[in-house]
Structure 1
Amino acid sequence: MTSVNERPRALLAGASRRWVRLLPWGLAFVLCVALLPTTIQVLTADYGLNAGVASALAIAQAAPLLLAVVRPLHAWYVIFAADVAGALVLLTVDFEERLLWPFPPMEIVGYVGLCLALGLREPRRTLLLVWLATAAANVGLQFVAPGGASSDDTLLTILSGVALLLAGALRERYEVQQRLVEQETISEAERERRTLLEERARIARELHDVVAHHMSVITVQADTAAYRLERLPPDVQEEFTSIAATARESLSEMRRLLGVLRNEEAHGELAPQPGLTRIGQLVEATARAGMPVEFTACDAEVPEAVGLSAYRIVQEALANVVRHAPGAPTQVSVSQDGDQLTVLVVNGPPPEPPAAPLELGGTGHGLVGMRERVRIIGGTLDVGPLPDGGFRVAARLPLTERDFT
């Protein structure tokens, strides 16, 4: 139910299509316009009721149908009271025995339409109370029924119950579907977040190995400086000793960090991390698998982190070609442009659309991993489909130490 301070929403206001949102207003308007004059005519001409009284009853019974689009329960209070009052007013006039009492047909039509609106908005408890009130009114009015009148004491009770049940079931089904959509959206967001965190942890493990190698080299050089360099002043030798101690401490901290980042399933990541020189071997292995790959190499000296990122980008890009475009001609190039390394992987469309991907597995982390690697070292990444049906992956990785900060 709508809170008092909350602005009420129209029925079906959350529908995606405009005509569905306007449907309750259209139906309410048609019912109001059709029932208002019909009620006046029937009550005056058939039942012999005074025109003024008939008009007042018709307005009270039909006009609130427009309110039912926004506040169906408030409209029910008015219409229910007007229908009961109308039945009591009809006791004051003589009408033919063939005419229905206590509720003429036009009142039944309007009341059933109102019950549909109630079912689309109100909870089960409210719908049950509405139906019980309707049944009680029908039963109570039978005690004062005029002799010879054609009674419809069960008709309104049955029709209103069916309308409330049907509309309530539709509303609950819609709410369940909405909750499922919301849950799927939340689950998808959680999956994307988990994928991102897993990829960041994997990149962190690999970068740890690179940094740990450098720290080990610093430690060894500082420890052996006194033996490699003759006649070192005592203060210089003390400085080298301090550097070695600091490096060993930092290396110990990094090993503890590695214990946190690695898990029981990461045994394969204990091997030395690949770099720029291994890209040629990666391309050759892909070509042996039947993929037409052309490779343009680069012999530049690059930081290990950059070489590792370039290797992983090419690896993920070729894996995506194998999965999604088997047999497509592919060009891989690694080139140095000033203080940047450019990695480019471009594939054309596959010769024949595969009936199924050659590789059904995969982490689904390819593009996520590329973006994270490029972001960490301060580069740029451009990926996207080509007009001919191929795909392009272009990464620019900075080579200078200044660009890594």
Structure 2
Amino acid sequence: MNETTQTQGTLRSEARIAHGALHRLRQDLFVDAFAFRPMPPLEDAKISRWVPWLPERIRHWARWLPHFIVGFFAICVFLATFTTSYSIGPVRSVLVLGFSVLVSAAPALTLFRPVGAFWLSLFSFVVSLVATAGFSSYDIGSDAAFATHLAVMTLVVLRTRPRLAVEMWLVTYGVGAVLTALGGGGMGDLVPMAFFFGVVLVSAAAVRAWREERRHVVETQTVTAEERSRRTLLEERALIARELHDVVAHHMSVIAIQAEAAPYRVENTPPELATSFATIRENAVAALAELRRILGVVRSEDPDAFVDSDPEAPQPTLASLDSLLDSVRSAGLTVEAVITGAPRPLPQGVELSAYRIVQEALSNALRHAPGADARVEISYVLGGIGLRIVNGVPSRLAKPSPGAGHGVLGMRERVQMLGGEMTADHTEEGGFEVAAFIPVANTVGEATA
């Protein structure tokens, strides 16, 4: 009983496998067999990588090179078929011309309707076999039809999916076996031909599978790089939000204190004015509470290498630049600082961002240019502050750093947030330079206040 049940289960499994195979065969070769599937041109990036020496206009037309090759092959098939078949005489020239068009149309059709091209090529191959069997004294191009059918199947596999190689091989040699049996011929020539076709189609399927896998890997790497950049950007914005919290909280605290003290500075304060100051203080205190709540969400561990890890420590400014330079010098980086213009108080957000840009640029120099000299230039100019941090060529090999490029992204985010401009690129001498300008409006007024 158990053996019978097991046998029935095995038969059902085999039936399901066969049904699934037939379903895939129907979906691949019969459903929408002549659907319009044009072959796209080559990508401009590939053309530029393969033949960068070609002029721009020629490279534009080179995108269509596969189409030209297939079209040229179709013309060669037409000429070869018509020339070799014309020996049957001028009386049958119309039939020969029609057959030549039928055979050569299949390769051209692979550019637009690949599965339909297979059926057209198979039909022309069958016609050549039947015609040759019926008119054995004439050669109407069966060899050309044979070679063309193999080329068409190869093109279809390269254009669609690898499993079509097996499906087209089975259909082709199923039809070939039926015609051979009906014609009373032997299977001697069919087996080596089937083996040869199988080797060619398997090779084409392997190439197609390799191309698909490579494309998938490139897409995955691209998506991963984009996600990593997006995640880094969000982390940097969260860090900026944490730092700006301290800036805003300072000013809100001043507003609350002044609003609370203002009524006591005026004798006989009107009740309406006292109520207004009380409202201002309540709103300021509420804003501070909300800022503290948001800070609990965006605050993370301090990722910087040269600042105190205490989350309640005051945010650094350019006045703390000397301690930063001492820290990087103790870490092994030779750095000098040059300040031009008259130093003046700047808005706290600008001071903080300028300090962080200098800090990140020096950190990058430590990581990527060990043993190099660095120079920090700070220029107090009318309308803003200019920063330039440049390092020379490293004197020894730098260790691989997985975070390469993220520091530049964070610096650029800070500068753009303040409406400034920044460049970061390699120097002609082989070092690296970061230059930024942060605009500051009403500098004199703010300094006086």
| TM bracket (short chain) | 0.7 to 0.9
Give the aligned partner of residue 103 of structure 2. Answer: 61
Partner of 1:143: 181
Number of the residue aligned with 1:346: 390
- Residues 3-402 of structure 1 aligned to structure 2 (within 5 Å): 8-9=38-39, 13=42, 16-17=46-47, 22-23=65-66, 25-26=68-69, 29-30=72-73, 32-33=75-76, 36-37=79-80, 41=84, 44=87, 53-95=95-137, 104-123=142-161, 126-145=164-183, 152-226=189-263, 229=265, 231-235=267-271, 236-263=273-300, 268-297=310-339, 299-350=343-394, 352=395, 354-357=396-399, 360=401, 364-400=405-441
Quick check: 2:424–2:434 contact (8 Å CA) kept in 1? yes
Q: C-alpha offsets along residues 282-315 of structure 1, whole Å, 9 cap, x if unaligned?
A: 1122233333222234641122111111110110
Q: In the alignment, is the contact (CA less than 8 A) between 1:36 and 1:59 conserved in 2?
A: no
When residues 163 and 71 of structure 1 are mapped into structure 2, their CA distance, relative to the original with a 3 A threshold, is farther
The offset of 1:35, in angstroms, is 6.8
Q: CA deviation at 1:53?
A: 4.6
Closer, same or farther: CA 363–250 of 1 in aligned 2, 3 Å: farther
Conserved 8 A contact 2:34-2:116: no
Q: Distance in 2 between matches of 1:382 and 1:232?
A: 58
Tell me by how many angstroms 1:186 deviates: 1.7
Residues of 1 paired with 2:335 and 2:43: CA distance? 52
Superposition TM-score, scaled by structure 1 size: 0.82
- Contact 1:374–1:395 (CA under 8 A) maintained in structure 2: yes
| CA RMSD in angstroms, aligned pairs only | 3.7
Aligned-pair CA distance for 1:118? 1.7
2:162·2:208 contact (CA, 8 Å) conserved in 1?
Answer: no
2:332 is paired with a residue whose SS is coil
**Structure 1 position 32, deviation (Å):** 4.7
Between 1 and 2, higher relative CO (CA 8 Å, sep ≥ 6) is seen in 1
The Cα shift of 1:316 comes to: 0.8
Q: Which amino acid aligns with 2:155?
A: A
Deviation at 1:263, TM superposition (A): 4.0
User: Offset at 1:157?
Assistant: 2.9
3-state secondary structure, aligned to 2:422:
strand
Question: How far apart, in 2, do the equivalents of 1:150 and 1:40 lie?
Answer: 30
Output the CA distance in 2 between the equivalents of 1:150 and 1:238: 107
**CA offset digits 1:122-145 (Å, max 9, x no partner):** 345654443232112221122343
Whole-angstrom CA distance in 2 between matches of 1:119 and 1:163: 10
**Which is further off, 318-327 or 49-58?**
49-58
**Is the alpha carbon distance of 1:276 and 1:43 closer, same or farther for their aligned partners in structure 2, counting shifts above 3 Å?**
same
Identify the residue that residue 17 of structure 2 maps to in structure 1.
none
Which amino acid counterpart does residue 292 of structure 1 have in structure 2? T
Shift of the 361–58 alpha-carbon distance from structure 1 to 2, 3 Å rule, reads closer
Identity %: 34
Count residues with an aligned counterpart.
392
SS in 2 for 1:179: helix
Residues 73-120 of structure 1 deviation map (CA, whole Å, 9 limit, x = unaligned) = 333323322222222223333559xx9xx9944332222112211211
Q: 1:388 to 1:252 in 2, by over 3 A?
A: same
> Is the CA contact 1:44–1:51 (under 8 Å) kept in the aligned structure 2?
no
SS of residue paired to 2:183: coil
